[in-house]
Amino acid sequence: MTDQKGLPPEADILIVPEILSFKNHIPFPAYNPHTCRIVSKITCYDKSENIIFTQTTTGNSQTGGNLFSGFQSQRLAAEAVHLALEDTVKQALEGLSEADELVQD
């Protein structure tokens, strides 16, 4: 399952995030749009360490434009990564909140 030695007694589930792929495109010339794509997987385990839910999300982003110099574009690569991470985390949280598998009786 994971590197864990089991769940703490007070935990009901273990949520394990994993980045499957990461692509950050830095264009030439640098003032063109920067793009990023992050594919991640969320796996949830119950107390018996059985998989009860899994979801794959894809976070996409694009930054840039409206720059007149490549020197002003230094922050764009990091900004693209940040936005893609926000997108994939938002999707994961939405999926977790709507997962019938995680509802306890």
pLDDT tens digits, 3-24:
555 677 788 888 899 999 999 9
Rounded to an integer, the average pLDDT of 31-52 is 90
pTM, full prediction: 0.78
Q: What pLDDT does residue 104 have?
A: 65
Give the span between the Cα atoms of 6 and 1, in whole angstroms: 9
Residue 63 in tokens: 């930054």
Instruction: Return all residues near 39 (Cβ < 8 A) that are at least 6 apart.
Output: 19, 20, 21, 22, 56, 57, 58, 59, 88
Rounded to an integer, the average pLDDT of 38-50 is 91
Give the span between the Cα atoms of 95 and 48, in whole angstroms: 22
User: In whole angstroms, what separates CA 79 from the centre of its chain?
Assistant: 15
